[in-house]
Amino acid sequence: MLRSLVVALSAVFVFTQALAAETQYVGSFMWTTENPLHGGFSGLELNENGTSFTAISDRGHIATGGISRDKSGQIETVQTKSFDALKGVKSDEMPRFAGDSEGLAIASNGQIYISFEGVHRVWRYVTPSQRALDIKRHPAFKDMQRNSSLEALAITPQGHLLTLPERSGGETKPFPVYRFDGKNWDVPYTIPRRGNYLPVGMDVGPDGKLYLLERWFRGIGFSSRVRRFEFGDGALINETTLIDSSLGAHDNLEGISVWHDGENIRLTMISDDNFKPFQITEFVEYRVTD
């Protein structure tokens, strides 16, 4: 009953969003299952035509499933296929403090990369059921805040990993973007910090542009923002705000996947319900029309 009320209120609020002219709201879908592992989703990847998904939770679990759409492209149903616990490098289990998985990126060869808070790192999985393969860490990772580190993860067309912390260390200090080329880390880019929003997810779209999902917790609910950047010569350029939602328009959006629906770029996001009865897990979609 409480979840139904939350959905109804969200449907009212969504029409009050302040959006850039290039973006149109497509729709939202509440995803529920009977699985006790369901919830806390913080990372999301869809396949190239938006019909299947992989999601990770901040309790160290990975889920896969299918998405059915109507003729207009809106989500009709979500079919859950699997829920699995992520394994460690040397063990099939991870302690709770080390299992806070936040960022998700899947390479073109199917290998899965996941960034973690708690113990700040990025791991690689050949398949979800296998043990992790560790990736060397940038020296700055060890000094990051415990619950505000590597929230977002993406892969460039060149196969480089990109990640950034949730907090930059100061209200006017830009967010450093760390890049891993397969051997070493560097910090080739920064993203300006604007207002009260903090980054929680990112993806590189099929257009080769970087999309950053940000969240602002406003005491009684959340606002979400998506900014888009282009890769310049040693800098991220042409910053554009695509979404800047009103308070309560959506739940706690944390994961983003960018794909092409045959006509436009599509932004699909997923919410982290924090395993709270008054929050929901929802897929939220927007279409970028410019």
The answer to whether 42 and 54 are in contact (CB under 8 A) is no
Cα 111 vs. chain centroid, distance in angstroms?
A: 17
Q: What is the pTM of this model?
A: 0.92
- Pull the structure tokens for residue 219: 């005491």
At 49, which amino acid appears? N
Task: Choose the weakest-confidence range: 66-75, 141-150, 152-161.
Answer: 141-150
- Pull the structure tokens for residue 7: 């959905």
Instruction: Give the span between the Cα atoms of 254 and 203, in whole angstroms.
Output: 12
pLDDT for res 169: 80
Position 6 pLDDT exceeds 90: no
Position 268 pLDDT exceeds 90: yes
Of residues 242 and 37, which shows the higher confidence score? 242
Q: How confident is the model at residue 98 (pLDDT cuts 50, 70, 90)?
A: confident
Helix/strand number for the chain, H first, E second = 1, 21
Instruction: Give the span between the Cα atoms of 108 and 23, in whole angstroms.
Output: 27
Q: How confident is the model at residue 157 (pLDDT cuts 50, 70, 90)?
A: very high
Instruction: Give the span between the Cα atoms of 40 and 60, in whole angstroms.
Output: 10
Residues 171-200 have pLDDT tens digits of 889 999 999 999 999 999 999 999 999 999
Residues above pLDDT 90, as percent of the chain: 82
139 SS3 class: helix
pLDDT for res 262: 95
Burial, 5: exposed, middle or buried (Cβ in 10 Å; 0-12, 13-18, 19+)?
exposed
What is the three-state SS of 193-213?
CCCCCEEEEEEECCCCCEEEE
Largest CA distance in the chain: 52
Phi-psi region of 246 (alpha: psi -120 to 50; beta: other; left: phi over 0): beta
pLDDT for res 81: 95
